[in-house]
Structure 1
Amino acid sequence: MKTSTPVGTQADQLQVTEDGKPLDAVRGTRAGDLDLRRTVLWWKGFEEQVVSRQQELHGIGEDVVLAAQAADTALQESPPRLAGEVFSAVAEGFSTVPGEVPRLLVPWFAELARSIGREVSTRSLADAAGAGVTAVQRAGAPPAGTPSLLDALVPAAEALVGAEAAGVPAVAALHAAYRAAADGTRRTVEDGTVDPGALLVAWFFERGTVV
């Protein structure tokens, strides 16, 4: 049975931090699309968030940290030349870790890599979104409402498709994806704790808004 949890507690879990301090999202001060440098910063920031706050990823923290470290090793061994290659390396790294959530995220990162070329655009995000959700479902992810990471991934994907239809830049699209993922994550609360897979997805999209 789901129980309520203080809004402040949920907000703290969903807020991206750096050195223990909250980071504010970028609001129109940089180019709309993400080039290679900013895509690497997105990944590195997400990795740092996972490592520093792994205790909040109840039951999956250790697996996700190992996957993130494996992804970082893959990036070091084969430095990316294009933005999409960042997520190719991430998918490769995550595939080496047997944990359920890392395994389920491999096809998501693979679809990002397939759709993204030189820059992360709203169109490439939208193209990856639907295919990525389908791939995660085929990989055996528990359905949304179980709860599971799909409670955050599905609404985020829908937000990205909507952002592409509205013609907004990638940074704005990532804002929309994060808000949708965060709302979905809040709906997973059980015994005062959000689903860790959904929380991970929310962190991923939020980190994309602060590079």
Structure 2
Amino acid sequence: METINARSWVERFIKTVVDQAGELTELDRRAGDGDYGTNLRSALRRVEANLAGVASDAPDAVFTAVSDGFLNTGGTSGPLFGMWFREFTRSPELTTAALAEAAAGGVAVVQRLGKAEVGHKTMVDAMVPAAEALTAAAGRDEPLAEAVRAAASAAHTGAASTESLLAKRGRASYVGENARGVVDPGALTVALFFDAAS
């Protein structure tokens, strides 16, 4: 059975985001205040520093390092991602059921704090379909690798849907029609996270 190592997953996520930081910053420049890429890189530098002090590859230890890195970052998205990742710390092993529960819990926290719904052009537009895909996969008792691929696909579809939306929450809501035609960078980051699992 194909397994996923939490530390390797996070390391691939960091590399992917660093490689695409320019694109993420440009999306935020067009639809927000342009600091998203900078804040994201700052968070990931903290994550790397935290991980260097963690000997265990257990998901609860790894995702605690990730959560803490984001919680100590400025902007709006950093703390929201930090709380989302906090839900991934609740299981000492990665299984389809555990990941589905974490993703669903993360959505609930982010929606409670950020007041965003699907269609508001935020990270929630990718988080919700990813969580739903994982929950469905858990119900079918699918292997973890297949479940995460389904979550990544759903998250990408959700992120792509934000391009045509008029933002109702977040920084993009301040710029009105200027943000239409731009993919939400937070939603894209969620998709990149699930991509990095495989």
Q: Find the aligned partners of 1:71 and 1:96 in 2 and give their Cα distance.
A: 10
- Runs of 5+ in structure 2 lacking a partner? 29-33, 165-179
Q: Tell me whether 1:55 sits opposite 2:55 in the alignment.
A: no
Q: Find the aligned partners of 2:126 and 2:195 in 1 and give their Cα distance.
A: 12
Is the CA contact 1:141–1:150 (under 8 Å) kept in the aligned structure 2?
no
Task: Decide which of 104, 109, 126 is 2:80's aligned counterpart.
Answer: 104
Q: Find the aligned partners of 1:98 and 1:141 in 2 and give their Cα distance.
A: 19
Q: Which residue of 2 aligns with 1:87?
A: 63
Q: Find the aligned partners of 1:110 and 1:80 in 2 and give their Cα distance.
A: 17
Change in Cα spacing, 1:81 to 1:171, as seen in structure 2 (3 Å) is: closer
Is the CA contact 2:59–2:88 (under 8 Å) kept in the aligned structure 1?
no
SS in 2 for 1:187: helix
**Residue type matched to 1:150 in 2?**
V
* 4+ runs deviating over 3 angstroms: none
Q: Tell me whether 1:161 sits opposite 2:128 in the alignment.
A: no
Is the CA contact 1:39–1:86 (under 8 Å) kept in the aligned structure 2?
yes
| TM-score, reference length from structure 1 | 0.78
Is the CA contact 2:21–2:37 (under 8 Å) kept in the aligned structure 1?
yes
Q: Which residue of 1 aligns with 2:177?
A: none
Aligned ranges for residues 127-166 of structure 1 at < 5 Å?
A: 127-166=101-140
Q: Find the aligned partners of 2:190 and 2:65 in 1 and give their Cα distance.
A: 18
**Residue type matched to 1:208 in 2?**
A
Aligned ranges for residues 195-210 of structure 1 at < 5 Å?
A: 195-209=184-198
- 1:94: how far off? 0.8
- Runs of 5+ in structure 1 lacking a partner? 1-30
**Residue type matched to 2:185 in 1?**
P
Q: Which residue of 1 aligns with 2:167?
A: none
Aligned residues: percent identity? 37
| TM-score, reference length from structure 2 | 0.83
Q: Tell me whether 1:188 sits opposite 2:177 in the alignment.
A: no
**Residue type matched to 2:51 in 1?**
L
Aligned ranges for residues 1-16 of structure 1 at < 5 Å?
A: none
Q: Which residue of 2 aligns with 1:121?
A: 95
RMSD: 1.4
Is the CA contact 1:74–1:90 (under 8 Å) kept in the aligned structure 2?
yes
Query: Structure 1 or 2: larger helix share?
Result: 2
Q: Find the aligned partners of 1:45 and 1:73 in 2 and give their Cα distance.
A: 15
SS in 1 for 2:82: helix
